[in-house]
Chains A and B, each alone.
Chain A
Amino acid sequence: MVEWTDFERDTIKDIFSRIKYDVVGPAAFARCLVVYPWTQRYFGGFGNLDNAAAIKGNPMVSKHGTTIIQGLDRAVKNMDDIENTYTELSVLHSEKLHVDPDNFKLLADCLTIVVAAQLGKEFTGEVQAAFQKFLAVVVSSLGRQYH
């Protein structure tokens, strides 16, 4: 059971109410494919991922980025039970998609950097800490059903 302070709850709700899901999701996912190119191994069917421009403009990348952040939204709405919220997704990523759970952290880091660019100075160290704690819980929950 994760303990959230009022500051942390408010910060997470605030961030997710301010960011544009269809901008931040695609940007974070595209960034992950660019900065950590080995993550492309899971997306062989996505077409042209040859360079940063191709990745950014790829419609399948955009669509998947939006899907990912909509998945995160479920955790925002269920902060007191993130673990159970992601049971099925964890099984999916493990049994069907065979994604190395270390990759979740890479995407989380890219999301942090994209949100930082969106919020600028308002993304203070304290806000970053709350955001990273939230993502750490998500990442841990997604990895939980692996065996």
Chain B
Amino acid sequence: MLSNKEKMLIAEIWESLTPVAEEIGADALLRMFACFPGSKTYFSHLDISRGSPHLLSHGKKIVLALAEGSKDISQLTVTLAPLQIMHAYQLRIDPINFKLLSHCLLVALSCHMRDDFTAVAHAAMDKYLSAFAAVLAEKYR
């Protein structure tokens, strides 16, 4: 459960990261590919090497979706409806991978924000990413 304070903190963090969405998103993806090679199987049709335009644009998309969702967390199911359908019927990514990417996003945030990524921010963000992943997987079955 997210408190109002936590919701504000999450929205603040994503708002501040929107200008570097590409950087954070690509970093998180690269970490996931390095640490969990099975996740690469979903990207066989793209160039996911460091610095590639595919990687940067994909990373940006993910972070911008997270930022958008954070603006009104109580409305996640509405905001993410199109993405829910895409992931359920088209992409069909095994939801275990959402956990893996969430972990790598937390690491990317920690590398970027250093001491500003406090335990409280970490807890709030972990809860948000779990909620986001759960909503994304809602239409799977």
- Of all chain A residues, the one with the shortest Cβ separation from B103 is A109
- Report yes or no: B123 in contact with A34, Cβ–Cβ below 8 A: yes
Total contacts A-B at CB 8 Å? 57
- Indicate whether B140 reaches chain A with its CB closer than 8 angstroms: no
- Report yes or no: A123 in contact with B119, Cβ–Cβ below 8 A: no
Chain A residues within 8 Å of chain B by Cβ, number: 24
Residues facing B in A32-56 (CB within 8 A) are 34-35, 52, 55-56
- Indicate whether A128 reaches chain B with its CB closer than 8 angstroms: yes
Chain B residues within 8 Å of chain A by Cβ, number: 22
- Of all chain B residues, the one with the shortest Cβ separation from A136 is B35
- Report yes or no: A35 in contact with B114, Cβ–Cβ below 8 A: no
Chain A 113-125 interface 0/1 with B at a Cβ cutoff of 8 Å (1 = within): 1101101110111
Alpha-carbon distance between A130 and B56 when the two chains are bound, in angstroms: 24
> Taking beta carbons and an 8 Å cutoff, which residues of B are in contact with A?
27, 30-31, 33-35, 103-104, 106-107, 110-111, 113-115, 117-120, 122-123, 126
Other CB < 8 Å A-B pairs besides A117-B117, A123-B107, 18 of them? A31-B119, A34-B122, A35-B123, A52-B119, A52-B123, A113-B107, A113-B110, A116-B107, A116-B110, A117-B113, A119-B111, A120-B111, A124-B34, A125-B27, A125-B30, A125-B34, A128-B31, A128-B107
> Taking beta carbons and an 8 Å cutoff, which residues of A are in contact with B?
30-31, 34-35, 52, 55-56, 109-110, 112-114, 116-117, 119-121, 123-126, 128-129, 132
